[in-house]
Amino acid sequence: MNSLGGDRQRGRRLCHSLLLGLLLLCAALATTASAAVNETQSRALLQALDTRSFQAKGEAAQAIADSQAAQKTRWLQALLDGRLGKERRGEQFYIVTDDSGREWPLIDAITFADAGSGSRRTVDIFKINNALRTQLQGMIASLSLAEGDERARLAAADRLIGEVSADNVESVRASREQEESQAVRARLGVALALYAAQQGDAGALDTLAGNLDTRVRNSLTTLAAGDGELAAQAQRVLDGIERKRAWYDRAQTLFFGLSAGSILVLSAIGLAITFGVMGVINMAHGELIMIGAYTTWLIQQALPGQPGLALLLAIPGGFLVAGAFGVLIERTVIRFLKGRPLETLLATFGLSLILQQLVRTLFSPLNRRVASPDWLQGAWQINDALSLTLNRLGVLGFCLLVFAALWALMRYTRLGLEVRAVTQNRAMARAMGVRAARVDMLTFGLGAGVAGLAGVALSQLTNVGPNLGQGYIVDSFLVVVFGGVGNLWGTLVAGMSLGVINQVLQPWVGAVLAKIIVLVGVILFIQKRPQGIFAPKGRVS
């Protein structure tokens, strides 16, 4: 009995194993058949693109977009990029991964497996025209709405603005109804409203009111050029958009003015310190700015391929090198000419010429380019009407950091206390035990170092050359006199004010006349207030 029961149990196990194996075999056969069908359908979809008729090619592309093929988005993108083609003497379809050379690396368009290499003689690339290119962009954007994260869907919805057509309008509407993200829904709503307005629906224009997108603006301009109620309504919406853009244009002008002012502040703040303490008109101040810029370039040459690290090292490097030159100038020239402003002016002017010629001899008179790191390239795009360039934004932030550091140095350190004492009353400071000669040396070195920092900042905005600092020396003195001799806050306010005023005037009167107007304005202001915006405390003797 035990033997009979064991045989029955083994028989059941064998039946179960046979049944499981049969099911696995059937599943494998079904998968193989499905794959074969999918490959056949894929070849048929791609084969329809092999035609000279762009209309037929567009219909074939639409069939791909409507199909269930998993590769359809990549096929359409490759077709749009001019990288989808067919074997010239065969039935294989390829995607070119790099068409920059004579031999193209290829992958199979269906399996995406490596397919060796080809060239124009072995692979025919499917050609498209502008109409088909626009159609493909709309298809890809529509397909992207169902793929990826919210950022990808938002980008796809943005691409659809102006690209909605009769072929994809229903799919876009369906995507909008299914979309959960409010931002993506809003973009799709704009795309659909623009399409409806182009079809003559005046009610859709309310959705476009206040929209700053350039494509919306251009379409409304075209609609407003016509006749009838639609044109009048489009013109009203367009006028509202233009008023809104005007405010953003003013904001951008203010930003450029503050950016230009930050350069003036960096250039003038070191001069304000030395002029306030020593009463020295340093005509070589522009060359100290140039030395900071060349220090940045030299550090970048020593660290090729690492512009970010080079720039970070150039900040202390430019300060120390320019500061060392400043101390050398003060010890060898300035200290022997105290109390003789005309001779000091002539001596420093001669030094500026010597430094310029020294740079020409060492580095040639040609301008040098300093590469900006990735995080200072491009712009921060707030909207279609306002973008802030990152290099100017970085210079503005750097200027404020330097100003804050100098203010803290002057307020909370012994050197700052002594500098303020010498600025207000040199004789009294010396009577109280302040070593004025030492303060002069350190102050001149500090002012020169800050000028070097201005050169580091300028290297991110313009090329580095022997005459770099010459364009800023006059403006720097103007800022110092306008703000108040030796006053940090006065220098900041004066530099920013002159930068903004100059930027506002330039579009109206031109760059040269704007500078003349600013100069005349400062002269008239000084006639009424000789001590500048912030009058210095005490006196320089």
Q: What is the pLDDT of residue 11?
A: 52
> What CA–CA distances, in Å, run from 541 to 278, 437, 489?
9, 14, 22
Last residue of a domain, one of 439, 470, 501: 470
Cα–Cα distance for residue pair 359/165, rounded to 1 Å:
62
In a domain, 465, yes or no: yes
Query: Which residue do the tokens 């791909």 mark?
Result: 64
Last residue of a domain, one of 420, 453, 470: 470
Question: pLDDT confidence of 158, banded at 50, 70, 90?
Answer: confident
User: What mean pLDDT is predicted for residues 125-129?
Assistant: 90
- Per the structure, the count of domains in the chain is 2
Q: What is the pLDDT of residue 8?
A: 52
In a domain, 209, yes or no: no
Q: How far is CA 426 from the centre of its chain?
A: 48
In a domain, 97, yes or no: yes
- The 10s digit of each residue's pLDDT in 357-412 is 999 999 888 889 998 898 888 888 888 888 899 999 999 999 999 999 999 988 88
- The 10s digit of each residue's pLDDT in 203-253 is 888 888 888 888 899 889 988 888 888 899 999 999 999 999 999 999 999
Q: How far is CA 353 from the centre of its chain?
A: 37
Residue among 200, 433, 441, 447 at smallest CA distance from 338: 441
In a domain, 48, yes or no: yes
Q: What is the pLDDT of residue 299?
A: 94
In a domain, 201, yes or no: no
Residues sharing a CB contact under 8 Å with residue 373, sequence separation 6 or more, in sequence order: 307, 308, 311
Q: Take residue 331 and report the two structure tokens written for it.
A: 């010890």
Q: Which of 76-80, 177-181, 271-275, 531-535 has the lowest mean pLDDT?
A: 531-535
End-to-end CA distance of the chain: 126
> What CA–CA distances, in Å, run from 320 to 251, 409, 512?
36, 16, 35
Helix (H) or strand (E) holding 106: strand 104-108
In a domain, 26, yes or no: no
Are 117 and 263 part of one and the same domain? Answer: no
In a domain, 497, yes or no: no
Question: pLDDT confidence of 22, banded at 50, 70, 90?
Answer: very low
Cα–Cα distance for residue pair 91/124, rounded to 1 Å:
11
Cα–Cα distance for residue pair 524/84, rounded to 1 Å:
70
Q: DSSP 3-state assignment of 228? A: coil
Q: What is the pLDDT of residue 478?
A: 87
Decide: 127 and 135 in contact? Cβ < 8 Å. no
In a domain, 202, yes or no: no
49-57 long-range Cβ contacts below 8 angstroms, 24+ apart = 49/79, 49/84, 49/126, 50/86, 50/124, 50/126, 54/128, 54/129, 54/131, 54/132, 57/126, 57/128, 57/132
Cα–Cα distance for residue pair 478/480, rounded to 1 Å:
6
Residues sharing a CB contact under 8 Å with residue 345, sequence separation 6 or more, in sequence order: 281, 283
Count the Cβ atoms, other than its own, within 10 Å of residue 361: 10
Can you give the residue range of the structural domain that contains 121? 35-125
- The 10s digit of each residue's pLDDT in 305-318 is 888 899 999 999 99
Q: Take residue 289 and report the two structure tokens written for it.
A: 């700015």
Last residue of a domain, one of 430, 454, 470: 470
Q: Check whether 352 has a pLDDT greater than 70.
A: yes
Mean pLDDT of the chain: 83
User: What mean pLDDT is predicted for residues 406-435?
Assistant: 81
Q: Take residue 129 and report the two structure tokens written for it.
A: 């025209």
Name 368's bridge partners.
Answer: 464
Helix (H) or strand (E) holding 95: strand 93-96
Q: What is the pLDDT of residue 145?
A: 72
User: What mean pLDDT is predicted for residues 109-129?
Assistant: 88
Question: At how many degrees (to 10) do helices 169-178 and 130-144 cross?
Answer: 20
Q: Take residue 123 and report the two structure tokens written for it.
A: 């692979």
Question: pLDDT confidence of 536, banded at 50, 70, 90?
Answer: low
Residues sharing a CB contact under 8 Å with residue 411, sequence separation 6 or more, in sequence order: none
Cα–Cα distance for residue pair 319/453, rounded to 1 Å:
6
Radius of gyration for the chain, computed over Cα atoms and rounded to the nearest angstrom: 36
Question: pLDDT confidence of 25, banded at 50, 70, 90?
Answer: very low
Q: Check whether 45 has a pLDDT greater than 90.
A: no
